Structure 1
């Protein structure tokens, strides 16, 4: 399956990246190319909306770890929202839910 992304800029230095499809070894480079530049902006809040993501593999998890490190290095923040049970379980099993902020429900900002 393909991956699609859309960047939505909000006021107050918020940027939303809506992601749809599957994040795997084939589509992860596209996610990285769209996510990392957002995390490199000083003081920006990056919200990644994963509502329409059905699958993430370890390559995809690595992209989020790299984005978190980039955000921290640039004084930005990273939040994930809209995770389905399967995707959320993967973040929990790997312990990434302890280091990456995950909203339990979709936020109004991401809609």
Structure 2
């Protein structure tokens, strides 16, 4: 899978995002903390990908250590963008602390959630 680093936020690289292509899936791999200080680092490449025609978005959450409500809203917004074009957002490999945010808010019921990245890419 080809990857491109699209950004990091200050404070010792609080969030790093890579974007890659795997078949028909555009894969976003955020690593670090997804919060109101870093959310644009994920939102911008997702919006760009959708504007360029991507409809199957996979977010590999394995490196995501934290996600607040702003980060959750980025992913919900990505879902709306993808669905408006007939696509979907798939979340993969969420750590328990991140999965808990989705569980508490009920957001886990509106995404396709997969235990591993491989499962998300195979669907």
Q: CA deviation at 1:42?
A: 4.5
Q: Distance in 2 between matches of 1:39 and 1:46?
A: 9
Higher mean Cα deviation, 33-42 or 62-71?
A: 33-42
Q: Distance in 2 between matches of 1:54 and 1:69?
A: 24
The answer for unaligned runs of 5 or more in structure 1 is none
Q: Distance in 2 between matches of 1:63 and 1:7?
A: 16
The answer for unaligned runs of 5 or more in structure 2 is 1-12
The match for 1:84 among 95, 109, 116 is 95
| SS of match in other structure, 1:8 | strand
Relative contact order higher in (CA < 8 Å, ≥ 6 apart): 1
1:62 corresponds in structure 2 to 73
Q: Distance in 2 between matches of 1:70 and 1:105?
A: 23
**Number of corresponding residues:** 109
1:103 corresponds in structure 2 to 114
Q: CA deviation at 1:96?
A: 0.3
Normalised by the length of structure 1, the TM-score is 0.88
Q: CA deviation at 1:39?
A: 3.3
1:8 corresponds in structure 2 to 20
Instruction: Kindly report the root-mean-square deviation, in angstroms, between the aligned alpha carbons of the 2 structures.
Output: 1.8
Moved over 4 A (4+): none
1:75 corresponds in structure 2 to 86
| SS of match in other structure, 2:117 | coil
| SS of match in other structure, 2:59 | strand
